[in-house]
Chains A and B, each alone.
Chain A
Amino acid sequence: MHKEFLMGNEAIGKACIAAGVNVVAGYPGTPSTEVLETIAKENDGSVYVEWSVNEKAALEVAAGASYSGARTLVTMKHVGLNVASDPLMSLEYVGVEGGMVVLVADDPGPISSQTEQDTRTFAEYSKVPCFDPSDAKEAYEMIFEAFELSEKYKTPVFMRPTTRVCHSYQSIDVRDYAEYEDHRPEGFVKDSKRWVIFPKLSYANHAKIEVRNEEISNEFSSNERNVITAGDVRKGIVAQGISYANVKDILDNSEGDKPALLKISTPFPFPEKLACEFLKGVDEILVVEELDPYIERHLLLVCGKYGINVKITGKLTGSVARSGENMPDLVQKYINEFMGWESAPCALPETPELPVRPPVLCAGCPHRASFYAVKKAMKGKETIFAGDIGCYTLGNAMPLDMVDTCLCMGAGLGIAQGVGRVKPDTKCFAFVGDSTFFASAITGVVNAVYNQADMTLVVLDNSTTAMTGHQPHPGTGHTMMGEFTDKIDIENILRGIGVETVVKQDPFKLDEAVETVKKVADEPGVKAIIFEAPCAVLFKPETPYEVDLDKCVDCKMCIREIGCPGVVLKDGHVAVDPALCNGCGLCSQICPCSAIGKAVKG
């Protein structure tokens, strides 16, 4: 063992390698992305690692590998689990051979997600056992236990850290290379009675799963991660994950009589026996957990089932907020109220008004140019701009204001079609990025063509998965194993589906781009524009632009029209910040006075 300072996700990735994982597949999504990236980076060639086209594909690849005896890991964020849920629900009934860990990162807050869904609740629904680490160290150690449990009971197993565990760093003990495990899968063994799901098999396996989960519940009751800390009074706190870490930190730094504390690290199947033991020592309980009142519901159930008379408080009693994160200040407040402790007065002087800094599209981002071209071309027309998931969701910000809807990966296509069905005169646009196109928009195009919709698809092709940190995808021509492959061409896919008008356009040629949009949008049926320009973060900036103050009349049109962070006000006048400017030249094409030009060196 040796010490390393690791991010929670890095710890999970390293633990998987040390546990001898053979096949890893996933789809990027904050806060899960770094797990797979860590494995790809540390891979000595013995692990097969892929960014799959979406979470469903990832889970199916891993299922096949697990059938064949391999230890496998699938990575995704919580909303990705919705995509992977179809194969996972059935896989739980069929089971696995090699250990399979399904890493799903939840995002309380939410900090960078559409929903605050709770994978613990999904675990119960799908009957898949679940581990819930409270920090990077525990996440590292749990991975080994998760693989063992998976192999012992032949079931996939959830590992579900939350953002603050995924993205916090900690100095932890990690295994030396000599301590790594080595798994050699034997390959797929044919057995149709085992691997082919039929109602009869599902019925038999369902019964077995329920019995097995009772067994695992008992096993979890004696799992030393579900730790009880004795208290001084007949009050108790039950917590999980980062909420537990925050509670423990507060209790460790408090004086006077303390409540008992129970940590639930294995939420499903719920460790009922341990809960009974804890409940017997207290009269009142506060449950501090994020997302669903999962533990709270189970404690209520245990009280009823075993006739225990303890008052359970938490989200369901309004003692803990139903949404958002349990940050330390909030947790302190909950504990103070529960224990009757006094709160320290907060005496911060009133601060001056602070600037707000919402996230914006980067300076030089091609999406800004694409959105602006469509906006100009469609000015005065009845339109719907259906957005999608990616950096380009930020196109909703003022002054662009070009995202009318955003729902989930690939939904923009369907939404544009639906809006058009209600009001056929509307010019319906769906904007989708290249990675999202491959992940889940192709079905939407097929649907539109087959059902003869009237809409314009705008593919914002920046040749990467930018939002999550530039992962490769089928259109980039390289894989996570470091191989170069043929790029899958979006235009060819669209033509193959039957979209007859497909036009490629450089969004930074503004006038030309505006004309292209006008022309394409006027055609009947399903048509597409592919705006091609690489992500601004991925290439070296060109010569920055500058404002000629002799020509500038301070109309501020450049600022009001496109909202580029590189165009700023300095001493009341428009200026280009050379440190931010990417040299895209969009502002110079907007300036009515030709006052913005490439900076002259010297």
Chain B
Amino acid sequence: MSTTNIILCGVGGQGTVLASKLTAAASMAKGLDVRSAETIGMAQRGGSVLSYLRIGECSTPLIQSGCADIIIGFEPAETVRALSYLKKGGVVITSDRAMMPVTAALQGSDYEGAKMTDFLKSLEGDLIGKLVIVNTDQALADLGSAKVMNMVLLGAAARGGFLGEVTIDDIKQALVKKVKPQFHELNFKALEYASV
């Protein structure tokens, strides 16, 4: 069965849900079936969030370990946390910017994003077939907005051909319907930003 299994993960409030909804809308516009699931409720701001997205025929929105074609990670430690979902040789697209949890600040421990991205790099060519690390600080400086990181990551996934049949043009068409006109240009720029 040709189901495309996508994991989107990050920290609450980073825009994983919009990225997931856009991909779903783009898939539906192509006549494909979509299922998705995400964390809602107590895990609000600051908690780990994980969305499952499955394009094509399937019975459950949930994804088994070792079955995700791609992980789109909005935060490097969250990307590492979700790695068990990745199928061998799968794709990982991740932001490199670490989000410090309060607990780390309390314990006085500095949590380093570089440790996570180094770990991911060490798996490239083995578990990870294709790794794209986006320099988030640079991207945000170039784009001039902190709100479009989700589009940078999603754009990289679509342009790399990692969202099954869904292309970057499909995402753009879905975006036009969901996002206010004044933000179209910025979002388009973000979608095209990262090199794949």
Contact = CB atoms under 8 A, between A and B. Distances in A.
A572 B111 CA distance: 11
Interface in B62-91: 62-66, 77, 80-81, 83-84
A552 B90 CA distance: 47
A111 B47 contact: no
A298 interface: no
Interface in A545-570: 556, 559-560, 563-565, 567-569
A169 B34 contact: yes
Interface string A162-174: 0010011111000
Contacts of A565: 45-46, 101-102
A571 B105 CA distance: 11
B42 A30 contact: yes
B64 A168 contact: no
B47 A246 contact: no
Contacts of A572: 110
Contact of B41 (A112, A354, A358): A112
A394 to B, nearest CB: 8
A351 B41 CA distance: 28
Contact of B77 (A167, A354, A560): A354
A356 B101 CA distance: 7
A168 B61 contact: yes
Nearest to A363: B45
B33 interface: yes
A431 B38 CA distance: 31
A352 B40 contact: no
A5 B28 contact: yes
Contacts of B119: 351-352
Nearest to A569: B105
A359 B27 CA distance: 32
Interface string A1-43: 0010100000000000000000000000011000000000000
Given A360-B102, A559-B106, A31 B41 contact: yes
A416 B115 CA distance: 47
B24 interface: yes
A301 interface: no
Contacts of A318: none
B110 A569 contact: yes
B28 to A, nearest CB: 5
B34 A564 contact: no
Given A171-B28, A327-B62, A357 B46 contact: yes
B41 A111 contact: yes
B103 interface: yes
B77 to A, nearest CB: 5
Nearest to B40: A167
B146 to A, nearest CB: 7
Contacts of B36: 168-170
Interface string B21-52: 10011011000011111111111111110000
Q: Specify which of A248, A344, A351, A556 lies most central, judged by the most chain B CB atoms within 10 Å of its CB.
A: A351
Interface string A323-351: 00001110010000000000010101101
A467 B110 CA distance: 30
Nearest to A362: B45
Nearest to A566: B102
B8 to A, nearest CB: 13
A3 B30 CA distance: 12
A349 B83 CA distance: 10
Q: Specify which of B28, B41, B103 lies most central, judged by the most chain A CB atoms within 10 Å of its CB.
A: B41
Contact of A249 (B38, B48, B59, B65): B59
Contacts of A398: 106
A390 to B, nearest CB: 11
A355 B62 CA distance: 24
Contacts of B83: 348, 351
B77 A168 contact: no
B106 to A, nearest CB: 6
Interface string B107-140: 0101100011001000100010000000000000
A568 B65 CA distance: 34
Contacts of B182: none
A514 interface: no
B44 A359 contact: yes
Interface string A229-263: 00000000000001001101110110000000000
A168 B103 contact: no
A399 interface: yes
B179 interface: no
A411 B84 CA distance: 41
B105 A559 contact: yes
A196 interface: no
A237 to B, nearest CB: 13
B60 A563 contact: no
Which 3 A-B pairs rank lowest in CB-CB distance, beginning with the nearest? Answer: A112-B41, A245-B60, A168-B37
5 contacts: A346-B84, A399-B106, A559-B106, A565-B101, A569-B108
Interface of A: 3, 5, 30-31, 111-112, 135, 164, 167-171, 242, 245-246, 248-250, 252-253, 327-329, 332, 344, 346, 348-349, 351-352, 354-360, 362, 398-399, 467, 556, 559-560, 563-565, 567-569, 571-572, 579
